Chain A
């Protein structure tokens, strides 16, 4: 009995080892045929892998499939929902990344320094089809690094029942907001997120209007990371103005208004003015608030209140396996008006293609108003050094809003950024 059991065990061992090791020979052809099986059914080769965030996967699918059919390839659109930039970089480095990545244009600096994306050649005709801002945003070191498809910036959204007219200046807006608050019609003068760590993105137009600046410019007009200007006298004055608008001043900027509650507060009627972007519109419409959109006003006699402009972009991955297909898709396919319109319908951000924007304008005036509000906007600096700005800027803003010493906060931010960028 026992001997037979041993024999069976030994046999099984042999068989098991043989399948595990011998698996290599028959598995080799299986592997190649497995990879090309879907492609051969489509009469051709290759797969094209696209990574997108959840809101863009569905609208892209039909176009990806159409592209696949046209070229006889399989196109996979995969959803990436967290830490997209880092996930893309890590996967690219390992060789398991996509052929095409969708992301914001301000990633470009970091993606380039990691050798993760390739420049894209657009014809003069294609370039002319995009809005000038969009092309400017995706240009880095004189090269175009992707096909832009949506342009977004923040603007002033107002509740037209409470505030029928667009304010001409920040002063007008604050006066009206304070009056509404005194009348008990609203709880807050202005809904602009500050939070406990500040929010550089949303406050930037006001900061810029007050004369503040982040970087000096290089000879070619690009932001110069060697010249950080947050602690410069003009920027200190701008922080002083934020302090005047803050909790110890007009009470328009408050740390209790955060990224989580500012849109909810506006749609709940707690404030008449909201500084936000196209992403807020869906909630506002759902709440049934009558609203209008205008540019963030500037201070009386101040500089223009320039918002940051962000551009959603298709990137061609350097380490992708089907680069020719990726280039074909990015340079020649998504520059197509129908694709831009489909993406717009799924996620209404103003298209970067002028023709698509005109089409959208006819159906949806909001897109045009956002575009108009961002006309003076500044493409978000794409240099990797921008990463060093956000947090110190936000903390200095928070300190000023709480009524702290603006000069001290600005100097500390400047010091922290210079330290991080090794500018000393």
Chain B
């Protein structure tokens, strides 16, 4: 719109170029988009204030100001178009990739999710045991002036004690209710249930020191004398307690004792290239890698070429001028694409069941489709073909409309057979438009987790190697390694993702380069 401003000066001298007409729809959509942005920004303010994260708040304000500057003035026309795309690129492409790569250098995963401080808290809290022989006190929280105190009733002797941050002292003159709770006590305000609940956080923070440990509230109506059997000692950066000493090991993110055993709770540490090294040196991974990669490439190629061939064949058939009832056929063909693939994959798995599946019943066969390597591979490719060809049909139909019929007619006049006309004219022109889609379809199928995980789960597995199945793709195989046996290992999974990303990026780069050459020939 700055264009308008510049033109305004010249408007008198030269005939004005037609100005962009400001339609109602334009204004309304702009107001709507800005209102939504403003609403989101305003919505984010209260939680940020509550969390006292002022930096984030400042960023939020800056973002709001920037959006306002950009879209409420007539300046920065190129930025108006570039900024949304750039923001989405950063948020949905650059950030996830950067996050995955940084995670690959840590041991983030089960047992190593939080910080060291959190691990220490968890270790100490988890080690608190009830002091042997101590009573299970009935608890009545009360106020002495403004100070929160505990009125503790020994259930056996009915003796009432006053628990404060200084310790436990017997209390005389308290009046007990039927349930064993204190109803009234001299000089104290007894808290009723709702009042106590309102102070729940203070009550759980309160600790009454005793000789053997601490009396802490267990809920709002009971208190227990507990003793931490493990305590962290900052001086030696270790955990001491019953059963020995565990020293912090910053390389593993665990507290480890002299025998090499570790406490269950660990923390997240930087492990450098360990995850990458493990992927390369672990024999259960590297030993099967080439086999899995080979099948993975075959699966992706077969899926793309199969769906493309079938989709194109159907599209060509329906494109024929003498074809009747194309609408009905088109709807029928698109159906597999319109159904949720999740459900369809599960249905197909059951159709392939040897004894109860429809496939065997219709064929009168007794084939263990998903139980033998060969048939299982054929099976998953067939299922993927069924799921994928409507997409190829759609895009090919679109591309066919753009190829002028005169070209094929001219070829026919020149004496070319229909097959030759297709090979020499239609297909090359189609490929110019569709190759980028084929490449992205290849990348998608290369990582088609659902197609395998929901049908064969990677199986059948040879008895001798339960880690890797015949239909495993790299993604399902590594998913099992990273999330199967040892709980969730996000760091390791991220390292593997980096490897898979590299492979797919390489293949795609080569393919795109070749397409460009092809375009130069035909365009």
Contact = CB atoms under 8 A, between A and B. Distances in A.
B486 A196 contact: no
B8 to A, nearest CB: 6
A9 interface: yes
Contact of A115 (B121, B222, B354): B121
A175 interface: no
A114 to B, nearest CB: 5
B198 interface: yes
B198 A118 contact: no
A287 interface: no
Interface string B451-473: 00000110111111111000000
A391 B466 contact: yes
Max count, chain A CB within 10 A of own CB: residue among B4, B195, B368, B485: B485
B300 interface: no
B351 to A, nearest CB: 12
A112 B74 contact: no
B266 A196 contact: no
A392 to B, nearest CB: 4
B198 A44 contact: yes
Max count, chain A CB within 10 A of own CB: residue among B224, B284, B467, B487: B487
A6 interface: yes
Contact of A196 (B8, B60, B459): B459
Interface in A31-89: 31-32, 34-35, 39, 42-46, 70-73, 86, 89
B265 interface: yes
Interface size for chain B: under 10, 10 to 19, 20 to 34, or 35 or more residues? Answer: 35 or more
Contacts of B77: none
Given A113-B266, A123-B136, A420-B486, A260 B371 contact: no
Contact of B61 (A17, A124, A257): A17
Contact of A391 (B74, B123, B199, B484): B484
B194 interface: yes
Q: Tell me what chain A mostly uses at the interface: helix, strand, loop, or mixed.
A: helix
Given A197-B457, A332-B222, A46 B113 contact: no
Interface string B416-434: 0000000000000000000
Interface string A220-258: 000000000000000000000000000000000011111
A384 B264 CA distance: 9
Nearest to A260: B350
B128 interface: yes
A277 interface: no
B371 A19 contact: no
Contact of A32 (B4, B50, B136, B371): B50
Interface stretch (B212-220, B232-240, B437-445): B212-220
Interface in B345-381: 350, 353-357, 368, 370-371
Given A16-B68, A27-B49, A419-B284, A72 B198 contact: yes
B342 to A, nearest CB: 12
Given A21-B61, A318-B122, A325-B220, A196 B480 contact: no
Contacts of A44: 194-195, 197-198
Nearest to A270: B356
Contact of A27 (B46, B65, B121): B46
Shortest 3 CB-CB distances between A and B: which pairs? A72-B194, A115-B122, A328-B219
Interface of B: 4-5, 8, 34, 38, 41-42, 45-50, 57, 60-61, 64-65, 68-69, 72-74, 110-111, 113-114, 118-119, 121-123, 125-126, 128-130, 136, 193-201, 203-204, 217-222, 224, 226, 264-266, 284, 350, 353-357, 368, 370-371, 456-457, 459-467, 480, 484-488
